[in-house]
Structure 1
Amino acid sequence: LAEGLQLPFWTANAQQLERMSSGYGPYTLSRLCAETGGIFFVADDTTVRKWDPQIMRQYAPDYRPGLEYRKQLQSNLAKQALIAAAQLAVNEPVPIPQRAFQANNDNILREQITEAQKPLAVLDYFLQRVHEALEVGEKHRDKLDTDRWRAQYDLAMGRVLAMRVRAYGYNSLLAEMKSSPRRFEKEGSNQWLLQPSEKIEGGANVRKMHDKALMYLNRIIEEHPDTPWAFLAKIELSEPLGWEWREGQLAIPQMGGANGDNPRRPVFAPEEEERRRQAQEMQRKKDQFKLKV
């Protein structure tokens, strides 16, 4: 059963995490070795980040037989809640939000915002379900009996709360921009960028989730230093949970005659595709003409 909540990071500092290893072997093989009196050795760990084996020893997975493992799950509601939340995320694709929006005019900006909002509507429902699943066991968190379970639960709760705050602020700013597009202050700007900010959009409930997310994530860093859980918590906290708009400039391909007869104007994807199709058609006709001659 999955014990860790798998969520992507929205922060810019999350790189090469797919190659991060705890130093333990594959769970099934390691458990097989444990049940038969053997040891699974990791002979060549080529991952970039490594962890102190002495520290990680106290965070070892539970290698007891399946029946015993499931029996101990029934002894604590927080464990059951974490397993339930992790199962929800196993096959659920979580989108990475679009943060750059072309804004040559308001119509283009609104179209891009509309498309960016679609996956976030589904994401909000998913995050709410995961959060509710974890809340079922929150009062029993202090009764968790190992450092591994406590770190896993705190990271799951902290990250899902952080993502909910980010998603709410993201949707709020997009809706506001779509309703009333802002005007650029700098000459040549044609793009709006969403950047992390300390400003939290939303009412008291969102700010409460923000403070709670910080509490859970900072507790991991304090109580489980030099572990993968503390490392992931630091990445989540490496950028503020709010958003703000910043204007930018995007280089846009242009077309027009060399003699200046045709005014240069932006070329968008459909127009560029049509231009290429016409050029290919003209080349095909030229080739046919040459063959006839």
Structure 2
Amino acid sequence: NRDEIRNAISSIPIDPSGKEMMCEAVGKSVAWHREYRRGGRRMMLILVTDESGDRQNNNEYLELAIGEAKSQDCRIYCLGRESVFGYPYAHMRWKHPQTGHVHWLPVDRGPETGFVEQLQTNGFHRRYDAFASGFGPYEQTRMARETGGIFFMLPTLESALVRAQGNLDERRYELEAMRAYRPDLRARIEVFADRDRYPLRTLIWKVVSDLDPHNNKAARSVEVRLEFAIDLPSFVRQARENQQKAKLLIGYFGWAQKLLEEGRKLRDQEPEPRWQGNYDIILAQTVAYQARLYEYGVALEEFIKSPKTAPLTKAPNLHLVHWDAHTVKKTRSDESLPYIEKSIELFQTVIDNHPGTPWAARAKWELARGFGVDFVPDYDRPYTKPTGPLIPVPKY
């Protein structure tokens, strides 16, 4: 009875917390309906979701949910979204109906593996892209596989999703090439135990963890400002502060580069193409990010010495709010050239060795970003004061 199903779904109240307790809900749903097995009936659970679920809840309840489903011989079929490549979050565009201000709201959308295997930074700050992984979120695909179900990937585009330039959904990876790069869907505890058997994985996890902007201890050290004040004294103050941060961050990426280069033999001993790809792309990124950060510092210095100008207003009703730092093709210094040349070579190696995969696509995207930095004026509409109570920003 489709109407009965629709009415049941419509009767579910809206949860303002924004947290999806997916794995806990799956386990409790199976346990709640275990009486349906009486009389020889078989059970299946159909999970329809556009998120990967709250990370802490997933960690606590994934294996419990799988165990409950197996005990009831219940297959789990999931209809969900493609995971973000090596990253837990995507961001959705939401425009406030009263103020007109645009918010980029985080949603849980990955990763495709039990633990993140990619850098969580784009070199300047935490990632905001939704670069496609080619696979479903780890928890959903694992639940489906372990219970004999299937994960179905929703094919439709999401117009409000923040995407990486050059990573639009019309581009698809090559199926045959991707088979060798399938994520490890074993239980997290088994994956974790393999760190002792495969030292390269321990090395990569250390680099990823130490440079993770979501790590409260590291966040202040591994992110620099990209929006700067329009009045020169404030710009100079912000620039000097972030030039120092960029200098430290160059050192961090240099440390990571050295660590990875010293572990080159471990890469050659690694049997899995996925982990070889992880090593290759992260090494290339650590070199490229040093070049971009150096160019960032030079661009700030040149702006201080010769400030750019822009109209304070633009038609129809836009006001200059700040200067945005953007990556561009043109570079400003000779000092960054050796790093640029080396990173280009490394990215090209990724493209050649991992064709038709997210690793190659990510390398192409990094090359397309350029290595220079420039400042462009950013305009926005003036703040609109609400006439009634302010509508709260939703939590997706």
TM-score, with length taken from structure 2:
0.49
Q: Find out whether 1:158 has 2:268 as its counterpart.
A: no
- Residue 178 of structure 2 aligns with an amino acid whose one-letter code is M
Label 1:146 to 1:192 Cα distance change in 2 as closer, same or farther (>3 A): closer
Counterpart for residue 17 of structure 1: 129
Structure with higher strand content: 2
Worse-matched range after superposition: 44-53 or 77-86: 44-53
Map residues 180-199 of structure 1 onto 2, 5 A cutoff.
181-182=305-306, 196-199=328-331
- Residue 231 of structure 1 aligns with an amino acid whose one-letter code is A
1:200 touches 1:241 (CA, 8 Å); kept in 2? no
Q: Distance in 1 between matches of 2:156 and 2:359?
A: 20
How far did 1:176 drift?
A: 5.6
Q: Distance in 2 between matches of 1:240 and 1:171?
A: 16
Larger Rg: 1
Q: Distance in 1 between matches of 2:234 and 2:250?
A: 25
Counterpart for residue 98 of structure 1: 226
Label 1:239 to 1:68 Cα distance change in 2 as closer, same or farther (>3 A): closer
How far did 1:66 drift?
A: 4.8
2:298 touches 2:332 (CA, 8 Å); kept in 1? no
Counterpart for residue 117 of structure 1: 243
- How many residues end up aligned between the 2 structures? 239
How far did 1:171 drift?
A: 1.6
Label 1:167 to 1:148 Cα distance change in 2 as closer, same or farther (>3 A): same
How far did 1:43 drift?
A: 4.2
The one of 330, 333, 339 equivalent to 1:209 is: 339
- Residue 298 of structure 2 aligns with an amino acid whose one-letter code is S
Counterpart for residue 6 of structure 1: 120
- Residue 235 of structure 1 aligns with an amino acid whose one-letter code is W
Structure with higher helix content: 1
Counterpart for residue 139 of structure 2: 28
Counterpart for residue 258 of structure 1: none
Map residues 6-155 of structure 1 onto 2, 5 A cutoff.
6-8=120-122, 17-18=129-130, 20-36=131-147, 38-47=148-157, 49=169, 50-66=172-188, 68-88=190-210, 89=212, 90-91=214-215, 92-93=218-219, 94-95=222-223, 97-98=225-226, 102=230, 107=233, 110-117=236-243, 119-121=245-247, 123-155=249-281
RMSD of aligned residue pairs (Cα, Å): 4.1
Label 1:218 to 1:118 Cα distance change in 2 as closer, same or farther (>3 A): same
Deviation string, structure 1 residues 33-86 (Cα, Å, up to 9, x no partner): 4445x2441242435524344332221012235565345433443222111112
Counterpart for residue 226 of structure 1: 356
Deviation string, structure 1 residues 172-228 (Cα, Å, up to 9, x no partner): 3434654xx1387x9999x8977624546354xx54432331122111222222322
Q: Distance in 2 between matches of 1:192 and 1:44?
A: 35
2:278 touches 2:359 (CA, 8 Å); kept in 1? yes
- SS of the residue aligned with 2:369? coil
Deviation string, structure 1 residues 92-128 (Cα, Å, up to 9, x no partner): 445354376747x6x5653352354354355335434
The one of 219, 235, 253 equivalent to 2:365 is: 235
How far did 1:249 drift?
A: 7.8
Q: Distance in 2 between matches of 1:160 and 1:35?
A: 37
Q: Distance in 2 between matches of 1:100 and 1:42?
A: 44
Structure 1 unaligned segments of length 5 or more: list them.
252-293
2:200 touches 2:263 (CA, 8 Å); kept in 1? yes
How far did 1:169 drift?
A: 2.2
- Residue 8 of structure 1 aligns with an amino acid whose one-letter code is N
- SS of the residue aligned with 1:111? helix
- Residue 132 of structure 2 aligns with an amino acid whose one-letter code is S
Label 1:225 to 1:39 Cα distance change in 2 as closer, same or farther (>3 A): farther
2:330 touches 2:370 (CA, 8 Å); kept in 1? yes
Q: Distance in 1 between matches of 2:208 and 2:152?
A: 26
Query: RCO higher in 1 or 2 (8 Å CA, sep ≥ 6)?
Result: 1
Map residues 252-271 of structure 1 onto 2, 5 A cutoff.
none
TM-score, with length taken from structure 1:
0.63
Q: Distance in 1 between matches of 2:289 and 2:368?
A: 13
Q: Distance in 2 between matches of 1:220 and 1:195?
A: 21
1:200 touches 1:207 (CA, 8 Å); kept in 2? no
2:142 touches 2:186 (CA, 8 Å); kept in 1? yes
2:226 touches 2:324 (CA, 8 Å); kept in 1? no
State percent identity of aligned pairs.
Answer: 24
- SS of the residue aligned with 2:152? coil
1:224 touches 1:230 (CA, 8 Å); kept in 2? yes
- SS of the residue aligned with 1:42? strand
